[in-house]
Chain A
């Protein structure tokens, strides 16, 4: 247990000192959200209607932004080999690394979402429901992305390939994330239905992805 706590602590500390990751992801998120209204033109109703979708796509791209370095940084400096020599199972190590990545990139996005949602003409319910759907759905994005990061770990320019591999797998998360956010704003289906599926997707990804990613890391 103390090994995993040490790993989490190291990941957070490295992310905090190097900067990059979380802060850049947040700025990227902000830029995506701000340029869409310029492209759409002055139609406030349209903006309000597609606001949740914009937030979700921006969150997906911002999450993928730093994910290619998740294992590659450790591979480059030799840490990954040493981590596999640990008595701690590689699956748990992968889980903790994903958790640290989620804490440093997704949590700042979730916290900033109410502000960004305001810029997309969301009303009070939207401001409350959007961060909630992101909170339930972003773990799935991080953990599914970790599989792609593990597969491309030994490739020099694996970042883009990782995004190409991962994006199709994130479609269900996107569908249910946006539909949960829309359901909260009113509509025929209740908020609970897509939200429960969104939670299930995240839980399934958290349970399954570490095994897939660890298997890929062992084969590298």
Chain B
């Protein structure tokens, strides 16, 4: 599987966020988007998923079979997509069904069994809060539940927007390990971050354009 972006340009509010930006990302590779606040890291992720319109450029996903980029991608953003009235387990089993891949098996080597909500929470050391409504969780715990979403539905491409916000040091390490495992399985990771992610990733500077 290969994600190829070519001469991307994004203009927001008459300001060029980036232009002539390109990258290639293959199976097992990670790309870290770095740059100052407001440089357009989050906007790039959103534009790739089709939430924003790119002013120029092409985005191609090769070897994904029937899935489009949006359908093959997990997106972790600032908003965590959790309903506060539901328990962590209910939220996760909902997203597991909604985000399940259309085809049971993706092409090539990228295939891993999705975990049950309980197992996914266990992996992030949160199994004790499965039955707790999300409203009662702390910011860090909510972030961990949101990250557990990556594991309950098997999607080959992960778009992570500041994934480690509000996480404690121990969880950052656990998460880095989860990402490393995903890359070993042949997954792709595109992460926008200020902090060190803890796994091997090529750096892509954004924010050169004025």
Q: A3-B97, A86-B98 are in contact. Are A78 and B67 (CB under 8 A)?
A: no
Say if the beta carbon of B81 comes within 8 Å of chain A. Answer: yes
Q: A10-B83, A14-B85, A87-B100 are in contact. Are A81 and B51 (CB under 8 A)?
A: yes
Cβ distance A40 to chain B, nearest Cβ, rounded Å = 41
Say if the beta carbon of B71 comes within 8 Å of chain A. Answer: yes
Say if the beta carbon of A216 comes within 8 Å of chain B. Answer: no
Say if the beta carbon of A39 comes within 8 Å of chain B. Answer: no
Q: A85-B70, A85-B71 are in contact. Are A14 and B83 (CB under 8 A)?
A: yes
Interface size grouping (class) on chain A: 20 to 34
Chain A residues near B81 (CB, 8 Å)? 77-79, 81-82
Chain B residues near A7 (CB, 8 Å)? 94, 98
Chain B residues near A88 (CB, 8 Å)? 98
Contact assessment for B80 and A78 in the assembled complex, using a CB-CB cutoff below 8 Å: yes
The residue in chain A whose Cβ has the minimal distance to the Cβ of B102 is A87
Say if the beta carbon of B75 comes within 8 Å of chain A. Answer: yes
Chain A residues near B99 (CB, 8 Å)? 82, 85-86
Compute how far the CA of A11 lies from the CA of B90 in the bound complex, rounded to whole angstroms: 12
Say if the beta carbon of A119 comes within 8 Å of chain B. Answer: no
Residue count of chain B within 8 Å CB distance of chain A = 29
Say if the beta carbon of A2 comes within 8 Å of chain B. Answer: yes
SS of B interface (majority) = loop
Cβ < 8 Å to B, chain A residues 139-193? none
Chain A residues near B59 (CB, 8 Å)? none
Compute how far the CA of A88 lies from the CA of B83 in the bound complex, rounded to whole angstroms: 20
Compute how far the CA of A83 lies from the CA of B90 in the bound complex, rounded to whole angstroms: 16
The residue in chain B whose Cβ has the minimal distance to the Cβ of A93 is B98
Chain A residues near B77 (CB, 8 Å)? 78, 81
Cβ < 8 Å to B, chain A residues 56-109? 76-79, 81-88
Chain A residues near B203 (CB, 8 Å)? none
Chain A residues near B100 (CB, 8 Å)? 3, 87
Contact assessment for A85 and B83 in the assembled complex, using a CB-CB cutoff below 8 Å: no
Residue interface mask B86-100, A partner, CB < 8 A = 1: 100010011101111
Chain A residues near B6 (CB, 8 Å)? none
Q: Which 10 A-B pairs have the closest CB atoms?
A: A78-B79, A87-B102, A6-B97, A17-B85, A78-B81, A79-B81, A82-B81, A86-B98, A87-B71, A10-B94
For this complex, 7 residue pairs linking A to B, each with C-beta atoms less than 8 Å apart, are: A7-B94, A10-B83, A76-B79, A78-B79, A81-B75, A85-B75, A86-B71
A77-B79, A81-B77, A84-B51 are known; give 6 further A-B pairs, CB within 8 A: A3-B100, A6-B94, A6-B97, A10-B86, A13-B86, A86-B71
